[in-house]
Amino acid sequence: AQSVTQLGSHVSVSEGALVLLRCNYSSSVPPYLFWYVQYPNQGLQLLLKYTTGATLVKGINGFEAEFKKSETSFHLTKPSAHMSDAAEYFCAVSDRGFQKLVFGTGTRLLVSP
Amino acid sequence: DAGITQSPRHKVTETGTPVTLRCHQTENHRYMYWYRQDPGHGLRLIHYSYGVKDTDKGEVSDGYSVSRSKTEDFLLTLESATSSQTSVYFCAISGGQAPGETQYFGPGTRLLVL
């Protein structure tokens, strides 16, 4: 069965600092990997996804993630945090069959001035 | 934004009562999903649909049923609500089975079972 582990339920950074949110997955087949963002009282919005091809994926709002098969990781990064990045971030994995997503437990990003 | 609406957006009900949540889409997407979101658990799949009248169970389907009589509507029913079903419920849609198909999420329904 597929699973996703997100290390750290809360991550705090200062405005302008590097953002690093960690995601490790378990899958018996090559996975599809996703990062979603959830702002307060809203639904989830896709930040980026990895399907095939280039392992460094760029998404919206300056975020990017790198698929590392050897480390079974798909960490999310942003060079410089903005106050508007404060939200909850979810990593998700699906297999190459029917599109069912398995989500991690989420990481809440706190950005201080 | 994908055209997904959920109703009601907030609901308070009592234990033992039936509750129906509605998801409506205007994208003509084939696949629809119901998730629940709970602290410490992320989102978990309840049921999904791959076409009109075609549905299947997800990870946490006990106590829930679904129906899809039209492409645009996917209903989630709690036959007899329990306090453990207090949660935020999200509907999602996707267009097909292309590799890495994106799921688009609705705004959510916050349900409190007293």
Tell me the mean pLDDT per 10 residues along chain A, length 113. 90 97 88 93 93 91 94 96 97 77 95 96
The answer to whether residue B1 scores a pLDDT higher than 60 is no
The answer to whether residue B96 scores a pLDDT higher than 90 is no
**Mind listing the pLDDT tens digit for each residue in B24-74?**
999 999 999 999 999 989 999 999 999 999 999 998 999 999 999 999 999
The answer to whether residues B69 and B96 touch, using CB atoms and an 8 Å cutoff, is no
User: Does the distance separating the beta carbons of A98 and B50 come in below 8 Å?
Assistant: yes
| pLDDT at position A98 | 63
**Distance separating alpha carbons of residues B114 and B19, to the nearest angstrom:** 13
**Distance separating alpha carbons of residues B74 and B34, to the nearest angstrom:** 9
Mean pLDDT value of segment B73-80? 97
User: Does the distance separating the beta carbons of B31 and A90 come in below 8 Å?
Assistant: no
**Distance separating alpha carbons of residues B80 and B73, to the nearest angstrom:** 22
Least Cα separation, residue A112 to chain B (angstroms): 23
Q: Which of B4, B103, B108 sits opposite A101 (nearest CB)?
A: B103
CB-CB neighbors (< 8 A) of A98 in chain B: 50, 97
Q: Is A99 on the interface with B (CB under 8 A)?
A: yes
Instruction: Return the beta strands (E) in B2-86 as ranges.
Output: 4-7, 10-13, 19-25, 31-38, 42-51, 54-57, 64-70, 73-78
User: Does the distance separating the beta carbons of B104 and A46 come in below 8 Å?
Assistant: yes
